[in-house]
C-alpha cells in the first residue's frame, strides 16, 4: 500500500505544498516543531533514506538545499536545522526546521497546531522565495 506521503504526492491527501521537481516534493509538516517546519521527500517511495540509490539521494539533498535557502529568506531564524528520523512514516523524509537555538530542534516538546490560513500563508511565502 502506498505511504501517506506517496498519497500526498499523488494529490489524494491534501498538504501545504512548498515545492516540487521531477524527483522530489516539499510540504509543511502538519504538526510543526517550529513555524515553517518543512518535509522534503523523494517521489520514489523508500522507507530508509540511506537505501535510496546514490543519484536519488544526491537529488533529494540538492533539492533540500534549494528549499532551505528559500526558507532562510522568509522565515526569521538563525539557521535551517536538518534532521532525518523516519520512525513514524516509512517514506524517507528530511525535516527542515527554522531554528534560533538548539531546543528548537526538540521533537519531544509540544508540537504546534497552526490555523490553516497561517499554514497556507507560510507555504506560499516559502514557495515564492524558492522560485
Ligand atoms: P518521523 O517519521 O518520525 O520523521 O515523523 C514523521 C513526520 O511527518 C512528523 O513530524 C509528522 O508530523 C509528519 N506528518 C505525518 N503525517 C503528515 C501529513 N499528512 N502531512 C504533513 N506532515 C505529516
Mean pLDDT score across all residues of the chain: 96
pLDDT per residue over 36-47, tens digit each?
Answer: 999 999 999 999
pLDDT per residue over 63-76, tens digit each?
Answer: 999 999 999 999 99
- Judged against a pLDDT cut of 90, whether residue 111 lies above it is answered with no
Cell 521527500 sits on residue: 41
How much distance in Å is there from the Cα of 13 to the middle of ligand 1?
13
- Measuring from atom 4 of ligand 1, which residue has the nearest CA? 86
Domains identified in the chain and CATH numbers? 4-130 (3.30.428.10)
Q: What's the rounded mean pLDDT across residues 31-60?
A: 97
Question: With a 6 A CB cut-off, is 4 part of the ligand 1 pocket?
Answer: yes
Question: With a 6 A CB cut-off, is 85 part of the ligand 1 pocket?
Answer: yes
pTM: 0.97
Amino acid at each position: 500500500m502506498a505511504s501517506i506521503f506517496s498519497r500526498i504526492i499523488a494529490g489524494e491527501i491534501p498538504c501545504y505544498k512548498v515545492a516540487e521537481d521531477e524527483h522530489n516534493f516539499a510540504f509543511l509538516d502538519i504538526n510543526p516543531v517550529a513555524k515553517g517546519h518543512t518535509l522534503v521527500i523523494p517521489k520514489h517511495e523508500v522507507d530508509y533514506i540511506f537505501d535510496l540509490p546514490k543519484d536519488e539521494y544526491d537529488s533529494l539533498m540538492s533539492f533540500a538545499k534549494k528549499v532551505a535557502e528559500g526558507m532562510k529568506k522568509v522565515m526569521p531564524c538563525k539557521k535551517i536545522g536538518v534532521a532525518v528520523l523516519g520512525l513514524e512514516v516509512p517514506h524517507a523524509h528530511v525535516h527542515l526546521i527554522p531554528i534560533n537555538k538548539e531546543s528548537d530542534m526538540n521533537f519531544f516538546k509540544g508540537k504546534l497546531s497552526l490555523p490553516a490560513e497561517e499554514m497556507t500563508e507560510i507555504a506560499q511565502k516559502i514557495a515564492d522565495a524558492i522560485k
